[in-house]
């Protein structure tokens, strides 16, 4: 019940100002956001590497309103990649990007987002790593998949995300499960209408299994993006049935969520990548994390009240 309300609030400027200014917010935000600057995230990557974990880095931000902000987003990723190169961390870290932050929703946004993301993908390839295009709300996906296809002509390792809550996803998975592709499957974190998405948790989970089976039986590289213990076990079983070795798929989880499980799966020999978000424009990302688990909201409310 609370999830959709929080997701609606994630789009409100008034709520953004209120929550950003509330005392106690930072303490809760810090659980999900690894820092504000590149300098603050570097030790987090090093710590993850020490535990046998890989990372995918997200410079938080979305819903920008000017081409200058889109260019600044591109530059923030280029700065990050420059630091990874200096530190020799390119092989441990890949990047996750939201095309809305690169200008996708502005006028001429499709071309603008492609023009802004291309240099990031290029720079990532130069240091031996890659970029995954996150999936945002369903209205953005045709553009995202077209940009993904375009980038893959020069950078075939570019990944993308699909969401099991959408009716379209099984078909997308069939198209994407081809040799050389990298596809992260998640349940989906946006408020979507019943005309395009399952609303019932059990239906979303069942769809997750159907789509994961398609990816595992295909020829691409599946990335299992979930903290759900049942789906993680099913993922391992589907990989086994498809005859995949441990380096032919990976698990991905979010920084700050089920951290013991990150380490446990890595210790079992699985490739585990932690989606590590950092930066100052954390509001949208943070609100989706609250919506996923209403208990987080209670914790948040308590820390605001007790400050």
Please enumerate, by residue number, every residue annotated as part of a binding site for substrate: 98, 288-289
Binding mask 152-171 for ligand FAD (x = CB under 6 A): ---------x-x--------
Q: Which is nearer to ligand FAD, 76 or 99 (CB)?
A: 99
Binders of ligand FAD among residues 267 to 306 (CB under 6 A) are: 275, 289, 292-293, 296
236 scored as a contact of ligand FAD (CB under 6 A): no
Closest CA to 282 of 24, 4, 25: 25
Q: Is 204 exposed, middle or buried (0-12, 13-18, 19+ CB in 10 A)?
A: middle
Among 110, 118, 148, 187, binds ligand FAD (CB under 6 A): 187
Among 10, 104, 158, 252, binds ligand FAD (CB under 6 A): 252
| Residues pairing with 97 in the sheet | 133
Q: Which is nearer to ligand FAD, 104 or 296 (CB)?
A: 296
Among 9, 71, 257, 263, binds ligand FAD (CB under 6 A): 257
Residue span binding ligand FAD (CB under 6 A) among the ranges 60-68, 119-127, 150-158, 225-233: 225-233
191 scored as a contact of ligand FAD (CB under 6 A): no
User: Do 102 and 112 form a contact (C-beta atoms < 8 A)?
Assistant: yes
CA separation, residue 37 to residues 50, 116, 126, 190, 198 (Å) = 21, 21, 23, 26, 37
Active-site residues: which are they?
134, 184
Closest CA to 262 of 32, 92, 52, 94: 52
189 scored as a contact of ligand FAD (CB under 6 A): yes
Closest CA to 285 of 30, 1, 71: 30
249 scored as a contact of ligand FAD (CB under 6 A): no
User: Do 288 and 7 form a contact (C-beta atoms < 8 A)?
Assistant: yes
182 scored as a contact of ligand FAD (CB under 6 A): no
| Residues pairing with 184 in the sheet | 161, 223
**What are the E-state strand segments in the chain?**
54-59, 93-97, 131-133, 159-163, 182-186, 221-225, 250-254, 272-278
Least gap, CB of 260 to ligand FAD (angstroms):
11
266 scored as a contact of ligand FAD (CB under 6 A): no
CA distance 276 to 59: 9
Please enumerate, by residue number, every residue annotated as part of a binding site: 98, 163, 187-189, 201, 226-227, 288-289
Which residues contact ligand FAD by CB under 6 A?
A: 134-135, 161, 163, 184, 186-190, 225-228, 252-254, 257-258, 275, 289, 292-293, 296
């Amino acid at each position: 019940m609370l999830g959709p309300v929080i997701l609606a609030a994630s789009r409100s400027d008034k709520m953004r100002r209120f929550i950003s200014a509330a005392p106690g917010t930072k303490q809760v935000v810090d659980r999900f956001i690894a820092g504000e600057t590149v300098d603050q995230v570097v030790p987090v990557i090093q710590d993850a590497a020490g535990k046998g974990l890989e990372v995918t880095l997200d410079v938080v931000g979305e819903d920008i309103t000017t081409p200058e902000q889109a260019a600044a987003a591109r530059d923030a990723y280029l700065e990050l990649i420059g630091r990874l190169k200096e530190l020799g961390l390119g092989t441990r870290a890949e990047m996750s990007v939201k095309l809305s932050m690169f200008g996708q929703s502005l006028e001429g946004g499709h071309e603008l987002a492609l023009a802004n993301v291309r240099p990031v993908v290029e720079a990532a390839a130069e240091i031996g790593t890659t970029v995954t295009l996150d999936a945002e709300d369903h209205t953005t996906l045709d553009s995202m998949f077209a940009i993904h296809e375009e980038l893959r002509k020069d950078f075939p390792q570019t990944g993308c995300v699909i969401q099991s809550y959408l009716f379209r996803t099984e078909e997308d998975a069939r198209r994407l499960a081809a040799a050389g592709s990298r596809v992260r499957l998640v349940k989906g974190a946006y408020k979507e209408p019943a005309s395009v998405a399952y609303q019932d948790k059990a239906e979303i989970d069942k769809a997750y299994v159907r789509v994961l089976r398609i990816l595992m039986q295909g020829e691409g590289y599946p990335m299992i993006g979930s903290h759900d213990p049942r789906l993680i076990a099913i993922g391992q079983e589907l990989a086994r049935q498809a005859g995949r070795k441990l380096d032919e798929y990976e698990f991905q989880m979010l920084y700050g969520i089920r951290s013991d499980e990150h380490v446990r799966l890595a210790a079992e020999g699985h490739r585990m990548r932690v989606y590590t978000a950092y930066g100052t424009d954390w509001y949208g990302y943070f609100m989706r994390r609250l919506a996923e688990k209403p208990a987080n909201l209670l914790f948040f409310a308590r820390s605001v009240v007790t400050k």
